[in-house]
Chain A
Amino acid sequence: VNEQSAKETLGRVLKASKAEQVSARLNMFHQASTRYSNNVITQNLERKRMTLTVRVAFGNREGVASTGETSDSAIAGVVKRAEDIATVVQPNPEHMPPVEPREYLKFGAYHRATAECTAARRAEMIRAAASICEKSRLSAAGSFHTGEEAMAVMNSAGLFAFNSHTNSRFSCTAISEDSSGKSEVSNEDVTRINPESIASFAVDRAVMSRSPREIEPGQYTVILEPPAVAEILAFMMWGFDARAAHEGRSFMSGKEGVKMVHASVNIHSRPGHEMVPGRPFNEDGLPCPEMHWVRAGVVENLHYGRYWARKCGRAPTGYPSNLIMDGGKATLDEMIASTKRGVLVSRFWYVRHVDWMAMLLTGMTRDGTFLIEDGRIVGGVRNMRFNDSPARLLGAVEMLGPQRRCGEWFEMLVPTIKASGFNFTSKTRF
């Protein structure tokens, strides 16, 4: 589907509706995914999916319906379902009219090589990674996804927006009897994915963390590598909703404009960032924000939805499509060398909120956790559970290192962080 055909389809939707306000959105996905474990491919698929979503309103009575088809009869059906809802449902006093036409950033995040990557090519790249693990007598597991997506939005206020992009993600976990290491790389351009270097990193971490010793939980200086930082930062950023903060339901209540973390911490979004491109617009057509959330440790902006922004007499922010935390000049080796006793964490796993009002999180270390003593890594340690707050952690930053692109929940570019007093609370058996 290209911009022209999306425009034609959405135009048919707008014509088919009698509602006072109509917004229509097309989301198209073509995804290829190969999964492997124990050095063999265990799952392999390709799929194409399209969703047409129609939002209509009569006054402030709203209805939303969606379908996977775009024939005239399917469009008539989905419009009728949305209108039927809007005709009978109770009014929504927080209804917002469709977004007015906007200008969007243009940036290239579409690569033909990614869109056209074949199953044979995916298998070849996985074989390259698996062989590196096998050479070190380690078992390899991971996945390799490639795909293209497009989103188009049109509404009765005259807005039309179209964006398409490609994506690829390659992960490799190397596993020994008592240790593991993982690496994962995402890029819009599949030719930038190097399976050998991804596997080599995973192998190094698995080998380094063999025969892990058990250490007692407690407060430690930690060096968190970017995948660990990305995991807990995402949970903190979900707390940046202005409405929840203003209603006293969030850790961020009263923190707008206030210094919350260390002065070296800057967190921002920039959709056109060359290393971690986001998206030009949200699902309603509002541009994705380019703004600072935290600057020099001060909370500069919260996320304002359209209704709450109107109520507060300001512009909505839109929802961020990427997050960037500025890094520093310290190298990982310098961070380790400067640590008397601490723990190096490669990544976290199963992080969840424990106490929303305290921004308290829990989670486990995974795939390479190391004890540092007298400025050097002395070996792997068994995994531990933490209970701590990312806001407290970012207030106790001692050093910032180089950034890496990662993130399960958001596309992120975040640094390695050294911070004091991280709270490990229990241990596990491996």
Chain B
Amino acid sequence: LKQLMLAGIAEAKRLGASYADVRFVRSRAQFVSTEDDHVQRVDDSENFGFGVRVIAGGSWGFSGCGVVSEEEMSRAVRQAIEIARASATLRKGEGVVLVPEEVHVDKWSSPCVKNPFEVSVADKVGIMLKCAGKILAVKGIKKATSFMQFNAVSRQIATSEGTFVETSYVNSASSLQATAVGNGDAQTRYYAPPPQSRGYESIEDGRLEDNAERIARQAVEKINAPTCSAGQKDLVLDPDHLALTIHESVGHATELDRVLGMEESLAGRSFATIEKLGDFRYGSPIVNFVANNTLTGGLASTGYDDDAVACQCWDIIRDGILSGYITNREVAQAIGATRSTGGNRADGWWSIPIIRQPNLCLMPGKEKITPEELISDVKDGVYIEGTGSFSIDQMRLNFQFGGDAFWEIRNGKRTRMLKNVTYQSITPEFWGSCDAICDERFWRQYGILDCGKGDPSQRAQMTHGAAPARFRNVNVGGVARE
């Protein structure tokens, strides 16, 4: 393949490209799901193809093709050049300029002890049905569902600058869900071990069977729980809930393509504009966000991004101040950066790379503090676990989140479950209200499996780590069905 890739690059240069890369991707995915006491779907998919990306006339062109041959490579290169020339008819100024990246010749792979594609489907379904049995045995449960999904991706990227990198990774994820029905209501509760860039061992570590009965009992408890009253309350948020709040209010807001208006027509822009860099108070002084694409097991830890920039670790928010963005080689210069942070990723050979969130983590508090101590200083609040409803405006300011499980906090104690809880805030006000974060003993990684962005839409995965954190006087409830 390397010869075919180099031939494609040579032809692109001969046709006038100032830059070209060829990316081959082979991917395999397996999805296994159950519904109640039976298997629902087992789907094993694979695909293979390549994308050619060129800069010609100062503009991008891209062609993706699922047929691998010399003829198709040549056709794709010519098409990419023709597309770039068409793009250039609307060019302003000098067009696309890439910040430098050293030449890499390297191989990288994610840790994988147990290849999930070598584990029998019957064994996977067997575990899931045992969990379903435990869930359905709980009185009041009407529905039990579960899934496991695995992705294995190997890429080869060659660039006209001389880089040639080969990378591979395996992602594993699973989830159980229990739904209770009664009193004219239905409530669900789920358990999902952190999805990780690891093999089947991460599913085993997730101990699905040990959590099945617990979530079923909580689903039943939830259906009989009172609806949360509306008002200003303190929140204590679990890491597996914070993952999505971080993702929507910090991750997307600091993607530099959005900040520059390049996503305006679909996903929107960001309030965190570049004149705020280094100066804007995004959160309280204890709030630190670090992007880390070298995190072991992180879903965005891919060795290199699709610009063939090596994965890195950098600050996004330091001591509450906006300190960095997620960039690629094209937009990095807009903030005066001399190197991309390596955020350009595509969801397959057929897609052009776009800026994607890294493994973005809320760093643990520096003082020793336990979740119980966070709760002990709350008079009227809610503890939230898991992901529920989510919505945020196109500038990433006004958001509203639900959750999966809620417990009332009264006079320093976590008490009964609640249901139908939402909270709404404005991003910098919310992170500014964060007054305590548990220490590193309680820091855990969760992740997003299905982040949609781009037009045409692409999917990406990334990890978000956090420790339980407390937020004061947040607008809670007020939208319940009553």
Interfacial residues, chain A to chain B (CB-CB below 8 A):
31, 33-51, 53, 62-69, 78, 81-82, 85, 88-94, 118-120, 122-124, 126-127, 130, 139, 141-143, 145, 171-173, 175, 180, 182, 247-250, 349-358, 360, 362-364, 366, 383, 385, 387, 423, 425-430
Contacts and interface: CB of A to CB of B under 8 A. Distances in A.
A47 B63 contact: yes
Interface stretch (B4-12, B262-270, B434-442): B262-270
Contacts of A94: 35, 38, 40
**8 tightest CB-CB pairs across the interface, nearest first?**
A47-B64, A119-B86, A428-B398, A358-B481, A387-B479, A68-B47, A45-B62, A141-B264
A46 B77 CA distance: 11
Given A362-B389, A364-B394, A92 B38 contact: yes
B3 interface: no
A295 to B, nearest CB: 26
B142 interface: yes
B28 to A, nearest CB: 10
A143 B455 CA distance: 7
Nearest to B185: A357
A343 to B, nearest CB: 16
Nearest to A350: B391
Given A33-B456, A127-B90, A429-B271, A45 B63 contact: yes
Contacts of A92: 38-40
B43 interface: yes
Nearest to B122: A88
Contact of B264 (A34, A175, A357): A175
Nearest to A62: B42
Contacts of B142: 247-249
Contacts of B40: 92, 94
Given A85-B44, A385-B391, A49 B83 contact: no
A247 B141 CA distance: 11
Sorting the interface of chain B by its residue count into under 10, 10 to 19, 20 to 34 or 35 or more gives 35 or more
B369 interface: no
A64 B66 contact: no
B455 A35 contact: yes
Contact of A385 (B35, B46, B143, B398): B398
Contact of B265 (A37, A82, A250, A357): A37
Interface string B346-383: 00001110100000000000000000000000000000
B86 A122 contact: yes
Interface string B52-86: 00000001111111110000000000010011111
B126 interface: yes
A82 B121 CA distance: 11
B44 A64 contact: yes
A352 B389 contact: yes
Interface stretch (B201-209, B306-314, B418-426): B418-426
Contacts of B264: 37, 139, 141, 173, 175, 180
Nearest to A383: B393
Given A354-B422, A428-B398, A65 B126 contact: no
B186 A250 contact: yes
Nearest to B95: A40
A51 to B, nearest CB: 7
A410 B301 CA distance: 35
B479 A90 contact: no
Nearest to B124: A89
Contacts of B262: 37-38, 42, 141
B38 A49 contact: no
Contacts of B85: 119
A266 to B, nearest CB: 27
B59 to A, nearest CB: 6
B261 A38 contact: yes
Interface in B390-442: 390-395, 397-398, 400, 402, 420, 422, 424, 426
B394 A349 contact: yes
Contacts of B479: 354, 360, 362, 387, 423, 425
A43 B62 CA distance: 8
A91 B38 contact: yes
Given A93-B38, A427-B398, A249 B143 contact: yes
A34 B46 CA distance: 27
B125 interface: yes
B475 interface: yes
A353 B352 contact: no
A249 B90 contact: no
B391 A46 contact: no
A65 B44 contact: yes
Contacts of B120: 88
Nearest to B354: A43
Interface string B452-466: 000110000000000
Given A43-B352, A49-B49, A352 B390 contact: yes
12 contacts: A38-B261, A44-B59, A47-B65, A48-B67, A67-B47, A68-B47, A139-B261, A350-B393, A350-B394, A351-B391, A385-B391, A430-B397
Contacts of A119: 61, 82-83, 85-87
B129 interface: yes
